[in-house]
Amino acid sequence: MSTGTELPEVTHAADLPADTPTYDVLVVGFGIAGGCAALEAARAGARVLVLERAAVHGGTSSMSGGHFYLGGGTAVQKATGHDDDVEEMIKYLTATSKEPEPDKIRAYCEGAAAHLDWLEDLGFEFERSYYPEKAVIQPGTQGLMFTGNEKVWPYRDQAVPAPRGHKVPVPGDTEGTRIVLDLLRDRLEEAGVEVRYETGATQLVVDDAGAVAGVAWRHFDESGFIRAGAVVLAAGGFVMNPDMVARYTPALGSKLFTLGSTYDDGLGIRMGASVGAELKHMEEPFITAPFYPPSSFVFGLIVNKLGQRFVAEDSYHARTSFHVLQQPDQVAYLIADSDHMGEQSMPLVKFVDGFETIEEMEAALDLPEGSLVATMARYNEYAARGEDPDFHKHPDWLAPQTNGPWGVYSLTLGEAMYAGFTLGGIRTTVDGQAQRPDGSIIPGLYAAGACASNIAQDGAGYCSGTQLGEGSFFGRRAGRHAAGVSPGTR
């Protein structure tokens, strides 16, 4: 693993040996983005090489639960009776993006339904079924669920809600993406793509004009160079590099479980920066501590150390966590009555205690006198009417919390199980071309997946499945463009 924040040195093409092997497209990293880039480049007729530092394919993608955020009328949406319009998906992603990039959002939304077909053509099928409950991921093989804030105010007033979380048909949250990655490996083999494992790119090669022309590589004690017409950086994020985390996303460096593989050390991102690529949204982390399932918890209310609500409890779990981290001392409690505590099937939040009265609960949590009593009285009064004038919680998740005893669960940082990863990376065009700060293109260099800054740029607005969705989608576009083929919809 490479640590530090320093940029790798650059090698000049003129210094390479005359017998240096040459490929049309070289892909650095074999996760979902790199695999899709390599396959599309090969199908476009390019001679492709993939370098993967690990001993197997998959990267961090293989650790995900298998959600692909896709919409605009996918086959699964249609089969389950969910209408979704491309323009509504565009409105939603624009509303939840910190700095929307209209061309990328439109391309993604317009191409999402066809992209689902492309993924299934690898050799699997999303189940044509819908999971209606609130969960981090479907417990069974259901193919579709809500995985964002589509039904949360104010977004539900800005775009017509639709479920877009498409899950690979594997029960629960294990081995989901592995199916897709194994199929990608098989399709790459059929397409004649060469993959070298336990071999990492260490620096970029540039020609006299400043275009990227290859990479230097290392395999244990061996090293060498490879020339390439184009290089696609798809080597992951930087969550496993403590120095980069400390510099850009210090919130990930304490009291959190990091979601990443050993090689999410930011080397690919730093390689891009070494030839002048701009890095965007590097300060944006994804951080979350899911408190559901059971979905009955969503009927409860969340308060800070002042005894005040601060977020709509029906928010996607990462949005809730984002707001928790903005509270005094990052302290928050989830409160549910006996009708809504349910059986905690995913104990990532700590059970504090049960209380017979609200006054007792208020005192035990050391909240200001009268604060929780007033907060709960107001919440219960309006919930009984199906209203939430303070945070506009959806009526589907409103119910008075009046049947004691009450249970309290801690969402406090350091007590709940918080986890996170990085969202920033190399600035790119819609076709994955790396860009300088002035917007100009770095010839021969592309980035995709967690190496790039695409549409999943805001931790508060992130939707589960965006990383796999955009990584595979924009990885494909990068591969096609790198091979010299104009991107289409398929």
Quickly tell me which residue has 């476009």 as its tokens.
44
Torsion sign (Cα): 476, 477, 479, 483: positive
483 Cβ contact partners less than 8 Å away, ≥ 6 residues apart: 24, 25, 40, 41, 42, 44, 45, 46, 230
| CB distance 353 to 273 below 8 Å | no
Instruction: Give the whole-angstrom CA distance, residue 52 versus residue 200.
Output: 6
3-state SS of the chain: helix, strand, coil percent to 5? 30, 20, 45
- Alpha carbons 390 and 144: distance in angstroms, whole number: 31
The pLDDT score that the predictor gives to residue 175 is 65
In angstroms and rounded to an integer, the radius of gyration of the C-alpha atoms of the chain is 24
- Does the CA dihedral 268-270-271-273 come out positive or negative? positive
What are the two backbone dihedrals, phi and then psi, of residue 34, each rounded to the nearest 5 degrees? -65, -40
Closest CA to 169 of 132, 128, 112, 116: 128
Locate 375 and state its tokens: 């907060």
* The CATH classification of domain 290-410, taken from the options 3.90.700.10, 2.40.160.100, 3.20.20.70, 3.40.228.10: 3.90.700.10
How far CA 283 is from CA of 44, 106, 205, in Å, comes to 36, 25, 28
433: which residues sit within 8 A by CB, 6+ positions away? Answer: 441, 442, 445, 446, 478, 481
Question: Is residue 32 within 8 Å of residue 177, measured between CB atoms?
Answer: yes
β-strand 144-145 against 48-52: which pairing, if any?
unpaired
Unique residue bearing structure tokens 């086959």: 75
Q: How far apart are CA 206 and CA 234, in angstroms?
A: 18
- Residues in contact with 26: Cβ distance below 8 Å, sequence separation at least 6, in sequence order: 48, 49, 50, 51, 201, 214, 215, 226, 228, 230, 231, 232
* DSSP E strand stretches across 234-356: 257-258, 279-280, 285-288, 301-304, 332-337, 350-355
- Tell me what pLDDT residue 320 has: 95
3-state secondary structure of 404: coil
What pLDDT is stored for residue 304 in this prediction?
A: 98
Alpha-carbon distance of 349 to 410, in angstroms, equals 6
Pick the CATH number of 11-64+175-287+419-482 from 3.50.50.60, 2.140.10.10, 3.40.50.170, 2.40.50.140: 3.50.50.60
Tokens 């700590």 correspond to what residue? 350
Q: What is the 3-state secondary structure (H, E, C) of 207-230?
A: CCCCCEEEEEEEECCEEEEEEEEE
pLDDT at 173: 61
Q: How many CB atoms lie within 10 A of CB 1?
A: 11
Q: How far apart are CA 274 and CA 5, in angstroms?
A: 11
Alpha-helical runs (H) found in 252-316: 267-274
How many angstroms separate the CA atoms of 346 and 341, rounded? 13
Q: What is the pLDDT of residue 293?
A: 87
Q: Which residues of the chain register pLDDT less than 50?
A: 486-490
Q: What pLDDT is recorded for position 66?
A: 87
- For residue 486, the model assigns a pLDDT of 43
The ranges assigned to domains in the chain are: 11-64+175-287+419-482, 67-167, 290-410
pLDDT of residue 343: 66
Residue 85: per-residue pLDDT: 96
3-class secondary structure, 147: coil
Q: What is the largest CA-CA distance in the chain?
A: 81
CA pair distance 300, 374, nearest whole angstrom: 15
pLDDT at residue 346, as a whole number = 53
